Amino acid sequence: MIRTLVLATHNAKKLAELRRIVANSGLTVAVLGLDDVEPYPEPPETERTFEGNALLKARTAAAHTGLPALADDSGLEVDVLNRMPGVRTARWAGPAASDEENRRLVLAQVHDVPDADRTARFVAAVALVLPNGYEHVVGDTMEGRLAREEVGENGFGYDPIFIAEGNDVTNAQLTSDAKDAISHRGKAVRAMVAHIRELNEEQR
């Protein structure tokens, strides 16, 4: 029975997002972040896929905390950049780059690309690893296009420069609930929460 799980991140916004989705689902599970547990050596994200990196982080968290662990890896794929930044999304402008620096680099790299060719997507993989070795991974995407400039104050990462399919505003202009409903991570996390519910019901 999963009553507590740890999300392998120090990102307060990701933690809030997961807690919000869990609460909205009615699932009674306490969600901790890495700042809520004893520190441990975190693995470098060396895998070549989002799924591989998510599993790497979740396995490490489960091993060190003894708790069911959830981890995600997500990123931006820009078609004219050969689907990059991909797994290097958080480090696109350098190992210690800020979100703003990453966004500026992407916009600079596509500054002369016509609107019709600015297609992109967010990709997310979410991995669950239990201390007994059980593993489950789900993934999802959010199709869209790159804006020409940063707009909006909400969200994080590349949200101010990404316009989801069917929208005419950036993700950073959406409310949290509106973004959760369509986002790659929101969809993947909801699928994982449903899976956790099934696991808990099987163990009753």
Residues taking part in catalysis: 73
Give the position of tokens 């703003």. 100
Reading the block at residue 85, the tokens are 């930044």
Write the single-letter amino acid at 194. Answer: A
**CB neighbours (10 Å) of residue 153?**
9
Residues present in the chain in total = 204
- Conformational region of residue 170, where left means phi above 0, alpha means psi within -120 to 50, and beta covers everything else: beta
Reading the block at residue 186, the tokens are 């929101």
Give which of 160, 100, 133, 131 is closest to 6, Cα–Cα: 131
